[in-house]
Chains A and B, each alone.
Chain A
């Protein structure tokens, strides 16, 4: 390639050497050369790239006028006929991170050229834009500039080369990356087959069904032996008492229910039914313990293997239920488990 790949880099007033908080309100300015961390970016990207412009914007200004500034960025990227947009990295700087995320998303969506930034997981900009732009993961420490910029440069180079980009966990970016544009004028089977062929030939493709990337929760551990724990049972398989007294819906659940089995040592089929549209529940109707294993846990309690069993189970129908709703159910169940001094849980999913 004789012509160099044209790069635009966005940094804040601090990295531009204009000052810290005292100058954080300055508006957008442009320098037609690499500035600050841009020098490192230039070196890392190598000879086939050229930073044609650095956009500098004060952190307060971009945070307060995000939309307006992003429009300006988009115009600049067009004006300079950029092939690649890089923002930051912004590490854990809040307003700068917001700017990095917003600008990268705007360029990705409106100019449709490769764009990338890098932020720390807890940067507010990460959560806001991680499903609209490539935001690579960094440490929260700006002293790691060299490592962060290296991964930005490598990732940018792959975007330019239309290299295969896998999911965020594998590739080290937050969330699901840029939103997928679906061309509905092409029938779904054809889209699916092109996707499959692209995958087969190792070419770039993007799923239209994005699995959310999930936060890490610390591993909970038991603080007592099994013989002293109080165990509870939870299911998303929709088991409800006969007659479905709370009218639990079989799909797209709005709430979870809690039902006591009192001192029963097994769940009798004549007492239960299933409200769940997502699986053939004949086997559970035949024996509800197959879903909520009350008979087994009661036996284990009698044998002294576990201390106690909460004599109620929690239930909902996990069909077409959005993640956010499931999360709420989980919170509600957890709160009640705490109230009942439950130490451990077995949850069954159909």
Chain B
């Protein structure tokens, strides 16, 4: 067979250099715009102020009454995060399945049909609306609707995380190997069958590790939501900060670290179980 010899220089080279330079061109002005001057951290005056603030954190508050309070509030925080995640998954999974092009039957054999394209795009836009409003703002809205307390936090996390999970689930399904699900669709299977017999076993570890990571994020954000009255550790932290009680803040931060570490362990455990 007569084939022209390929060029000896990597044809992707020019593109790579171009995009590398483009990143620099975008990055440098934005560093200037945000007055990024890390050396300011180490000026003696700033060091003194920082040290004073950090020293406030010592020693962490460990009296049993406060610890018991924190334990109860941690439980609220975890409950808000878990309930919010569960609700978010309930809504995100159908959205992801509907939005993901991995389950498009028309695009197996050519361009996706226009109706499918429009529906998928509409769902995508809807998910963007849900997640582009920060959960803090959703919480402020829901505090007005359902009153102060954990319910507002649960709803805020559910709404924002539906947006995030719906998008990422859909993209995980698209970026994994779609051979198996395509084969099932070509063989006359339905979309949901192709999901359960093709896409889900293919992407189970990615989906579960992303979900557990998001649960970890939800714990953090439910702590933050406490600041606007959604209960849990955040509310306690808000109170301690207003009283300049660094020791209490330190204890709460340590508890948060422990919670995140537990989430990390769980993620590892679940991944191993599926592996």
User: Bound pair: A and B?
Assistant: no
